[in-house]
Amino acid sequence: GDSVTQMEGPVTLSEEAFLTINCTYTATGYPSLFWYVQYPGEGLQLLLKATKADDKGSNKGFEATYRKETTSFHLEKGSVQVSDSAVYFCALVQGAQKLVFGQGTRLTINP
Amino acid sequence: NAGVTQTPKFQVLKTGQSMTLQCAQDMNHEYMSWYRQDPGMGLRLIHYSVGAGITDQGEVPNGYNVSRSTTEDFPLRLLSAAPSQTSVYFCASNNRGGGYTFGSGTRLTVV
C-alpha cells in the first residue's frame, strides 16, 4: 500500500538557520502531496501542497517540490524563526481521498 | 468561525465504558474522516465517509463505529473502551481534490 517516510526527529536548530525535512513516498499512482503543521495543543493545519510532478508548493517561507523521479517532497525554509517550532507531517492522498501520513518530525528552534 | 468542531476536548474513561466523540463541520464538505494520533506513528485513519449514508473502514477500525446521517455530522463511537485506545483523535473534512480541515482534537485516556 501507499506509505510516507519522514526523517526522524527531533530536529533542533538556531534561529535563522536553513531547514530541510526529508520526505519520501511509495505509491502506485500519481498522488497529491502535502505538508501539514501541528502547533502545540492544536490540530493540523495545511502548510502547502503539490498535485503533480515538478509542482512547487510554498507558504510562509516554506517550499517543497514534487519530485517524481526520486519520489520525494522535501520541506525547506531558508531562515527559520522560533515561531516555526512545531511538528511537521508529510502526507499523500490519491484515489479514495484517504490521507496517508508520515510519522511526523518535531522541530524546535532556539533563539 | 467556519471549520470542524470536535467535542469533548478531553475525556477519561474506564475500561469497558462506551462513549461517542462528536464531530461537526459547517463547510458543506463531502468527505469526513477520523484519525488517531499516537507518538512516533503519525496519524492513522480509523473510518471515513464520502457522503451522507456512506462510510468505510480505514487502517485501524477495530473497536470503533461510525455513522453519517447528515452531511455536517460524523460521530465516532467507542463500543467498549480499552487502554490501547488511549490516543488523540482528530476529525477532518474536505471536498474532493481539496485540502483537509482538521478539528482541534480529543485527548482520550482509558484507565
Per-residue confidence band for B56, with pLDDT thresholds at 50, 70 and 90: very high
Residue B65 confidence (pLDDT) above 90: yes
Long-range contacts made by residues B78-84, C-beta under 8 angstroms, separation at least 24? B78/B13, B78/B18, B78/B19, B78/B20, B78/B21, B78/B108, B79/B18, B80/B16, B80/B17, B80/B18, B81/B13, B81/B14, B81/B15, B81/B16, B81/B17, B81/B18, B81/B19, B81/B110, B82/B15, B82/B110, B83/B15, B83/B110, B83/B111, B84/B110
The x, y and z cell numbers of residue A20, run together, are 530541510
Residue B48 confidence (pLDDT) above 90: yes
Cα(B79)–Cα(A65) distance, rounded to whole angstroms? Answer: 43
pLDDT, tens digit (0-9, with 9 covering 90-100), for A22-41: 999 999 888 999 999 999 88
Residue among A49, A89, A98 minimizing CB distance to B42: A89
Instruction: Name the closest residue on chain A to residue B6, using Cα atoms.
Output: A43
Nearest to A25 by CA among A106, A110, A94: A94
Q: A103, B94: Cβ pair inside 8 Å?
A: no
Q: A101, B90: Cβ pair inside 8 Å?
A: no
CB-based burial label for B101 (10 Å; 0-12, 13-18, 19+): buried
Instruction: Name the closest residue on chain B to residue A88, using Cα atoms.
Output: B42
Cα(B28)–Cα(A61) distance, rounded to whole angstroms? Answer: 31
Span of A3-7, B39-43, B103-107 with lowest mean pLDDT = B39-43
Tell me whether A31 touches chain B (CB under 8 Å): no
B52: DSSP letter: T
pLDDT at B71: 95
Instruction: Tell me what the pLDDT averaged over chain B comes to.
Output: 93
pLDDT at A96: 61
Cα(B89)–Cα(B86) distance, rounded to whole angstroms? Answer: 9
Cα(A48)–Cα(B89) distance, rounded to whole angstroms? Answer: 23
Instruction: Tell me what the pLDDT averaged over chain A comes to.
Output: 93
Q: Yes or no: say if B23 and B47 are a contact pair by the CB < 8 Å rule.
A: no
The x, y and z cell numbers of residue B89, run together, are 483523535
Nearest-CA distance B42 → chain A (Å): 4
pLDDT, tens digit (0-9, with 9 covering 90-100), for A39-53: 988 889 999 999 999
Residue A98 confidence (pLDDT) above 90: no
State percent of chain A over pLDDT 90. 82
Q: A43, B33: Cβ pair inside 8 Å?
A: no
Q: A99, B103: Cβ pair inside 8 Å?
A: no
Residue B19 confidence (pLDDT) above 80: yes
Q: Yes or no: say if A21 and A36 are a contact pair by the CB < 8 Å rule.
A: no
pLDDT at B1: 62
